[in-house]
């Protein structure tokens, strides 16, 4: 009976998602990408608070660990791009070079600092050339912990009268758990050996923030999400929706953005890939998984169905994988004399959204940004605004959007939804989604 109910829910969802009628999603989520990072230095409490004030449903912290095992919000564990660490003479001797996801990276790293030391640093704007106004806030904000973000979200939920969620990403989990080493101090050269997934669940449980309607956990790697679903969350007695992120699906792989690093690492080290990845191994295009496996090998209906059946409730694709672009010479889209648009939509819409919906997965693409340098031309050559981009993505059926400017995304989504008749239960909302995952996993027990 349970199996038939699950299959019925999946079938109904697939039927709705493939209908050629109204494509507008009911309750399309607006996710504050690193906060309201178009207006404040990213991954600061100020950026998260502004995102909520502008209408975000969720705020997104990227999580890395300190030396003493505390999760903090940074886009990368390399700190010099988002903090003033390079200007701190007391930490000059911690400058080093590490291999992160196969890339050589030089700077200062979160795992080489205690929380107390990190709290002396201050955030700075990551892309000052693009967002010069944000530099007015350089030096004002600390690096927040996950506990501080949870406290802020609870406070703001009470203030605004709606439940705000948190959408954490585990950053470089293979590096932290298996490959990376400490630099300096008594542990110099020792393996970091920190499970970001375990730390994340431990923190959420300790802070009593495990409501599946208010948390999504995401990662660009596969193995850590599978471990969360099969080991870590069951041991903790919680069940939180998991979202598999996809980098570029263009093949062959040319950079770390094109491949899941955990698959590369495990293949390189002779791990039993079939045992780790299960049906992901058998459904990957190209015949299994190996060091050359890219996201493009996993961009198919069978792999998405596998993920939906076994561990994931959603997928987070790069928006270019849904609406392909071509490179063009720079174009001045807003008439300010500075040509910054360097791509144009082909007019193609890939099957990714329909394939994901058929597998019972929600789709939350990234990242929508307001600045001209991040926008594109429509297929007819006219400049696309951020509002146009929201309308286009909502129109092809996505269930949520990662936005650097949550206010514009919120206004656009609200205008679309108020003018449209949504398909029933199209996105599962945030209520049926956890139920579906629960039912699926009950079936598999």
> Beta partners for 231?
none
Residue 308: C-alpha distances to residues 53, 73, 91, 227, 258 (Å): 33, 28, 45, 15, 22
71-73 and 217-219 strand pairing: unpaired
Tell me, rounded to whole angstroms, the distance of Cα 50 from its chain centroid: 19
Q: What is the CATH number of the domain that holds 263?
A: 3.20.20.190
What pLDDT does residue 15 have?
Answer: 37
CA angle in degrees (0–180, nearest 5) for 281-286-290: 55
**Catalytic residue list:** 33, 75
At residue 437, does pLDDT exceed 90?
no
Give the phi and the psi of residue 363 in degrees, each rounded to 5: -125, 120
Is the predicted pLDDT of residue 364 greater than 80, yes or no? yes
pLDDT reported for residue 78: 98
Q: Where are the alpha helices (DSSP H) in 133-249?
A: 146-160, 173-174, 196-206, 223-227, 233-236
Q: How confident is the model at residue 421 (pLDDT cuts 50, 70, 90)?
A: low
Residue 379 near residue 323, CB atoms below 8 Å: no
Instruction: Provide the domain limits for residue 18.
Output: 2-444
Closest of 34, 123, 142 to residue 82, by C-alpha: 123
Tally of domains in the chain: 1
Confidence of residue 287 (pLDDT cuts 50, 70, 90): confident
Instruction: Give the DSSP per-residue string, 31-49.
Output: EEETTTTTTS-SSSHHHHH
Q: What's the gap between Cα 168 and its chain centre?
A: 7
Write down the pTM of the prediction. 0.90
| DSSP-derived secondary structure for 313-370 | SEEE-BGGGTS-EEEEEEE-SSSSS---EEEEE-S---SHHHHHHHTT-EE--B-B--
**From CA 203, how far away is CA 214, in angstroms rounded?**
15
Residues 102-159 have pLDDT tens digits of 999 999 999 999 999 999 999 999 999 999 999 999 999 999 999 999 999 999 999 9
For the ranges 212-216, 243-247, 255-259, 440-444, the lowest mean pLDDT is seen at 440-444
pLDDT digit string, tens, across residues 11-66: 344 333 333 333 444 589 999 999 999 999 999 999 999 999 999 999 999 999 99
Q: What one-character DSSP code corresponds to residue 231?
A: I
Q: Residue 411 belongs to what H/E stretch?
A: helix 406-418
CA dihedral 147→149→150→156, nearest 10 degrees, is: 150
- Span 222-251, pLDDT tens digits: 999 999 999 999 999 999 999 999 999 998
Whether the per-residue pLDDT at 428 is higher than 80: the answer is: no
Measured distance CA(170)–CA(62) in Å, rounded: 6
């Amino acid at each position: 009976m349970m199996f038939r109910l699950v299959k019925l829910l999946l079938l109904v969802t697939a039927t709705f998602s493939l209908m050629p009628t109204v494509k507008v999603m009911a309750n399309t989520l607006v996710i504050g990408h690193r906060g309201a990072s178009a207006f404040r230095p990213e991954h600061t409490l100020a950026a998260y608070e502004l995102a909520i004030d502008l209408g975000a449903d969720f705020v997104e912290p990227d999580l890395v660990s300190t030396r003493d095992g505390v999760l903090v919000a940074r886009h990368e564990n390399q700190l010099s791009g988002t903090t003033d660490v390079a200007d701190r003479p007391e930490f000059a001797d911690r400058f080093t070079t590490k291999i992160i996801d196969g890339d050589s990276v030089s700077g200062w790293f979160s795992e080489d600092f205690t929380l107390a030391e990190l709290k002396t640093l201050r955030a700075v704007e990551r892309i000052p050339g693009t967002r010069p106004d944000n530099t007015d806030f350089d030096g004002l904000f600390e690096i927040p912990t996950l506990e501080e973000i949870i406290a802020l979200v609870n406070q703001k939920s009470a203030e605004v009268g709606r439940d705000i969620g948190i959408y954490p990403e585990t950053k470089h989990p293979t590096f932290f758990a298996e490959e990376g080493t400490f630099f300096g101090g008594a542990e110099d050269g020792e393996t970091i050996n920190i499970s970001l997934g375990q730390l994340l669940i431990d923190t959420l449980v300790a802070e009593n923030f495990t409501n599946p309607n208010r948390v999504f956990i995401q990662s660009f790697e596969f193995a850590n999400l599978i471990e969360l679903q099969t080991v870590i969350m069951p041991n903790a007695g919680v069940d939180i929706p998991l979202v598999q992120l996809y980098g570029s699906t263009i093949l062959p792989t040319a950079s770390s953005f094109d491949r899941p690093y955990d698959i590369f690492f495990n293949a390189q080290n002779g791990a039993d890939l079939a045992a780790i990845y299960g049906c992901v191994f058998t459904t990957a295009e190209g015949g299994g998984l190996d060091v050359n496996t890219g996201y493009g090998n996993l961009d198919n209906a069978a792999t998405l169905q596998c993920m939906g059946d076994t561990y994931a409730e959603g997928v987070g694709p790069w928006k270019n994988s849904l609406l392909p672009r071509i490179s063009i010479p720079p174009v001045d889209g807003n008439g300010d004399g500075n040509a910054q648009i360097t791509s144009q939509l082909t007019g193609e819409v890939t099957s990714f959204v329909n394939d994901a919906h058929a597998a019972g997965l929600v789709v939350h693409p990234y990242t929508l940004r307001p600045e001209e340098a991040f926008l594109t031309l429509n297929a007819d050559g006219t400049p696309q605004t951020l509002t146009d981009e929201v309308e286009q993505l909502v129109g092809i059926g996505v269930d949520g959007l990662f936005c650097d400017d949550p206010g514009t995304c919120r206004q656009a989504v609200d205008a679309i939804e108020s003018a449209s008749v949504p398909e029933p239960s199209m996105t599962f909302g945030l209520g049926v989604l956890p139920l579906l995952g629960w039912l699926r996993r009950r079936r598999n027990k």
